[in-house]
Copies of this chain bind each other. A is one copy, B any other.
Amino acid sequence: MPKTLWIVLALVLMAGWAGAADLPVAPNGIALYPEFMSWKPLAPSYREDKGHIRLITANDVALAGLRAGKNPLPDGSVLAKVAWKAVKHPAFPVATEPGEFVQVEFMVKDSRKYAATGGWGFARFVGKELKPYGKDPGFVAECFGCHTPVAAKDYLFTSLPSVP
């Protein structure tokens, strides 16, 4: 192989490695999807008990599946739930809007890899540092447990909101 090809190959490998090394990875191997705010919106949500305001976004595979009424969603579907502290708008206090970033969570569909948890891989990244949540892969029991009541809806709480 000519020398330049080796150099190009080395650069490509380094770029790939640096990119992956930059992203936080959950204990079950799921890396952060940095494009979560560039996906299309599914729905807003609000948690009065936690004082959080949230936004659920979906990648194109998930959104197309939801629009087609697919249940379960196809492999490759990814949903993100972004949470912020709910704060009152300084210029209009009855309006509650996003304040400080709290965390982002993902559900990643791979029906074989995550067969034990309804085909979904779970991951949560907390705070400005996007610190991966959980000490070991067992953390998903908490996620899956809470999402089990909506098993009939492919373990999803959120559905497409009604729009004329």
Contacts and interface: CB of A to CB of B under 8 A. Distances in A.
Interface in A19-70: 37-41, 43-50, 53-55, 57
Contacts of A163: 37, 82, 101
Contacts of A54: 44
A94 B149 contact: no
B37 A162 contact: no
A43 B84 CA distance: 10
Given A129-B164, A161-B101, A45 B53 contact: yes
A86 interface: yes
A71 interface: no
Nearest to A57: B41
What does DSSP make chain A's interface, helix, strand, loop or mixed? strand
Contacts of A97: 43-46, 157-158, 161
A115 interface: no
Contact of A95 (B40, B99, B130, B157): B157
B149 A47 contact: no
Interface in A135-164: 149-150, 157-158, 161-164
Interface of A: 37-41, 43-50, 53-55, 57, 82, 84, 86, 89, 91-92, 94-101, 127-130, 149-150, 157-158, 161-164
17 contacts: A40-B41, A43-B98, A44-B55, A45-B95, A45-B96, A46-B86, A46-B97, A47-B95, A55-B55, A82-B161, A82-B163, A84-B161, A92-B157, A95-B157, A100-B162, A101-B163, A101-B164
